[in-house]
Amino acid sequence: MNLDLPVSKLPTIGPAYAKRLNKLDITTLGDLLYHVPHRYNDFRTLSPIREVQPEETVTIKGTILSIKNIYTRYGKKIQIGEVEDKSGLMQVVWFNQPYLIKNISKGGLYSFSGKATLFNRKITLMSPEYESVEIGSNNLHTGRLVPIYPETARVSSKWLRGKIFTIINLHKSEISDPLPDKLLKKLKLPDLYSSLLHSHFPDNLEQAEIGKKRLAFDELLYHQVSSLDKKNDWQKVKVAKSLNIDNDTFDMFLASLPFSLTDSQKHAVKEIFSDLSKSYPMNRLLEGDVGSGKTAVAAAAAFAAFTEGYQSVFMAPTQILANQHFNTLNTIFAAFKVRISLITSEGVKADLGKSDIIVGTHALIHKKVKFDKVALVVIDEQHRFGVEQRAHLIKKAGDRRTSPHVLTLTATPIPRTVALTFYGDLDLSTLDELPGGRRPITTWIVPQFKRNSAYDWIKKQIKEFKTQAFVICPLIEEPQIETMKQIKAATREYEKLTKIFKDYHVGLLHGKQKAKDKNLMLDKFSKGDIEILVSTPVVEVGIDIPNATIMIIEASERFGLAQLHQLRGRIGRGEKKSYCLLFTENTSRLVRARLKALKENKSGFELAELDLKLRGPGEIFGTRQHGFHNLKIANWQDIYLIKKAKEIAKEVISNPNDYRQLIAQIKSKNIVPN
């Protein structure tokens, strides 16, 4: 059986079910097999009916004597059945599932698993799992460790269980293992078929853990091999221009700066300069905390290209950030005749003649921009672009035979284990210290009962110190979903704050506004015409307002720690004392612990590591990222497995003939590293 076949090849899976499964990232038979349970219901205790006790989770087997719908006075339906075995009678009850009357036949032998409780003064199994059984047959949904899967609308764990069981049992001989027996013995891992069987249908929890460990290793290995393979392919590409950089060039650049570089900035520049002199293109990721000076490091690389007569291209995800880079680079290169142009959807801002540095948004890809002798491409916040968008810009800046050097930047603090796994095709530089002169930001947790006092304090700060404030909300419009009604929407908050701060000017900024309106609002805020700016996390990157010293974050528990840290980094850029107020109505111990960690910790990398342990990688990158692949099975805390997968991946790349089946399988999956 070819596990790369679409799931629609399974009987009874038509277009409708295929579409639902796609929401679970299941498109092939292999995806279905690797959709592992997130927990198991323990229904292994088989009990005679007479011995069942209240609050006990048990499985009973018996004959259905009767089953019927009972209507309540409010029009709801209750399904009540009576089951008999040799020891006695028992009641089974469901709510609002009238179809069960047709599914469960009177006189049939069934197995029921669930929790016993008192109902109408009788011991009853409430909403039990059930299945028809034959004497001597094995159960799938009852009487065992029953797998419970991540689900979506109209795709239940019971349905998934049945389909996965069908594949594993009917196609056992066709599930071949891509890893050699010798390697499995070395790693003390089971074969693929046993791992799949025991992950889904274990006899005990230890068996399930061992099975999942093997599947987790496969997942990590696939990504590591793909990354290394891509890195090898990249190093075969001919560079557009190998730059010969001497110490005098670097010293000239350093002397021109209106500030001193940190040690980590200097180290990153040296790594980049080394890459620029190689015969193949640089492909490096520069990650650094908010305000750590990534743009200055990228500017050093652009200066190296400029001194040899070549262009550099900077692409930013938003017009706000593109404008910020344009202004920053003009400041950095004020002492040199570096011509910098800005290209966005609004138009082109450029001097006459050839541009040495071109800064822009997606417009760099879509507009008819003629690049001439591009040696360097800088992509900021690369995870906000799709893989194809990045590739298109690089291709456009190079030609059919060569590629420019590529430097990607991110202000998202990424734990090293994550970076090494998913950015394995890139070389990594890290800025782990902040430039001198940045004042520490005081962070407070503000519960609901202190909200009005906080507003009074903000009014006093704005009035006395002529300062400004950000107010950040998670969503743009009031959500309609009942369970999310407590999230503060920016539009609603804006209306509320215009009344609370009626003596001040309040502005609104969000991602759905036109670029022109966004820029106008930011310009007003920058000039001080607006004291309070209500915004969605669109301000997370790229906005630098030194006079803004107050950051209020509504529903702060809804954000990951790394994102909260990035938002906090938008203040503390001037001479005045800055404050971050974390508003929350949630009183849970976990929420308090997370927010307290932000209050006490100033390092984005340490916060990212903490959030990884507490809430997983989705909280580091957010749900909006294009280029990041979440792990479905593997665990980020399993450092040993990550390191072992990287070690074996190097072996696979070095000895491809020994791993032909594995390489073929990985290529068929079309895994695209970042």
Distance CA 250, CA 199 (A): 56
Paired tokens of 159: 């349905």
Place of tokens 């040690």: 263
**Co-location of 105 and 23 in the same domain:** no
The mean pLDDT value for 80-86 works out to: 97
Report for 289-303, 309-323, 453-467, 593-607: range of highest mean pLDDT: 453-467
Banded model confidence at residue 54, pLDDT cuts 50, 70, 90: very high
**Co-location of 6 and 137 in the same domain:** no
Domain holding 64: CATH number?
2.40.50.140
Is the pLDDT score of 19 beyond 90? yes
Domain carrying residue 115: 45-143
**Co-location of 23 and 139 in the same domain:** no
Give the DSSP H/E element, type plus range, for residue 90.
strand 88-95
Decide if 488 is inside a domain: yes
Cβ atoms of 114 and 126 closer than 8 Å: yes
**Co-location of 18 and 87 in the same domain:** no
Look at strands 39-42 and 145-148 and give their pairing. Answer: antiparallel
Q: What angle do CA 380, 385, 387 make, to 5 degrees?
A: 115
What is the gyration radius of the CA atoms in the chain, in angstroms?
A: 30
Is the pLDDT score of 630 beyond 70? no
* Lowest-confidence segment of 4-8, 51-55, 438-442, 625-629 by average pLDDT: 625-629
The mean pLDDT value for 66-79 works out to: 90
**Co-location of 35 and 130 in the same domain:** no
**Co-location of 534 and 460 in the same domain:** yes
Banded model confidence at residue 475, pLDDT cuts 50, 70, 90: low
Paired tokens of 110: 């069934």
Banded model confidence at residue 208, pLDDT cuts 50, 70, 90: very high
The mean pLDDT value for 66-75 works out to: 89
Give the DSSP H/E element, type plus range, for residue 209.
helix 205-235
The mean pLDDT value for 653-674 works out to: 78
Decide if 669 is inside a domain: no
Cβ atoms of 21 and 164 closer than 8 Å: no
CA distances from 94 to 63, 99, 126, 262, 533 (A): 17, 11, 6, 66, 52
Residues 274-285: tens digit of each pLDDT: 999 999 999 999
Cβ atoms of 537 and 567 closer than 8 Å: yes
Banded model confidence at residue 384, pLDDT cuts 50, 70, 90: low
Decide if 670 is inside a domain: no
Decide if 383 is inside a domain: no
Paired tokens of 179: 């890893």
- Residue 546, Cβ density class (10 Å: 0-12 exposed, 13-18 middle, ≥19 buried): middle
**Co-location of 446 and 567 in the same domain:** yes
Q: What is the pLDDT of residue 542?
A: 59
Report for 162-166, 433-437, 517-521: range of highest mean pLDDT: 162-166
Domain boundary among 156, 175, 194: 175
Domain holding 449: CATH number?
3.40.50.300
378: which strand partners? 314, 407
Q: What is the pLDDT of residue 579?
A: 96
Give the DSSP H/E element, type plus range, for residue 494.
helix 490-500
**Co-location of 493 and 590 in the same domain:** yes
Decide if 264 is inside a domain: no
Q: Which of 13, 14, 10 is nearest to 29 (CA)?
A: 10
**Co-location of 139 and 153 in the same domain:** no
Residues 146-159: tens digit of each pLDDT: 999 999 999 999 99
Residues 534-590: tens digit of each pLDDT: 998 876 555 778 899 999 999 999 888 878 888 898 898 888 999 999 999 998 888
Query: Can you spell out the DSSP letters for 268-317?
Result: HHHHHHHHHTSSS--EEEEEE-TTS-HHHHHHHHHHHHHHTT-EEEEE-S
Decide if 184 is inside a domain: no
Distance CA 589, CA 366 (A): 49
How many domains is the chain partitioned into structurally? 3
Is the pLDDT score of 425 beyond 90? no
- Name the pTM for this structure: 0.79
Q: Which of 142, 173, 144, 141 is nearest to 159 (CA)?
A: 141
Decide if 473 is inside a domain: yes
CA distances from 163 to 66, 138, 158, 167, 202 (A): 30, 16, 9, 6, 16
Q: What is the pLDDT of residue 301?
A: 96
* Lowest-confidence segment of 370-374, 419-423, 613-617, 618-622 by average pLDDT: 618-622
Distance CA 352, CA 213 (A): 61
**Co-location of 526 and 550 in the same domain:** yes
Decide if 396 is inside a domain: no
Give the DSSP H/E element, type plus range, for residue 157.
helix 157-170
The mean pLDDT value for 95-111 works out to: 94
**Co-location of 501 and 553 in the same domain:** yes
Three-state secondary-structure class, residue 151: coil
Residues 513-530: tens digit of each pLDDT: 887 888 788 889 989 999
Cβ atoms of 174 and 9 closer than 8 Å: no
What is the length of the chain?
674
Is the pLDDT score of 479 beyond 60? no
Is the pLDDT score of 672 beyond 50? no
Banded model confidence at residue 23, pLDDT cuts 50, 70, 90: very high
- Residue 529, Cβ density class (10 Å: 0-12 exposed, 13-18 middle, ≥19 buried): exposed
Banded model confidence at residue 298, pLDDT cuts 50, 70, 90: very high
Quickly count: other Cβ atoms within 10 Å of residue 23's Cβ: 11
**Co-location of 13 and 88 in the same domain:** no
Distance CA 246, CA 328 (A): 25
Q: What is the pLDDT of residue 667?
A: 79
Query: What sign does the CA torsion over 485, 491, 493, 499 have?
Result: negative
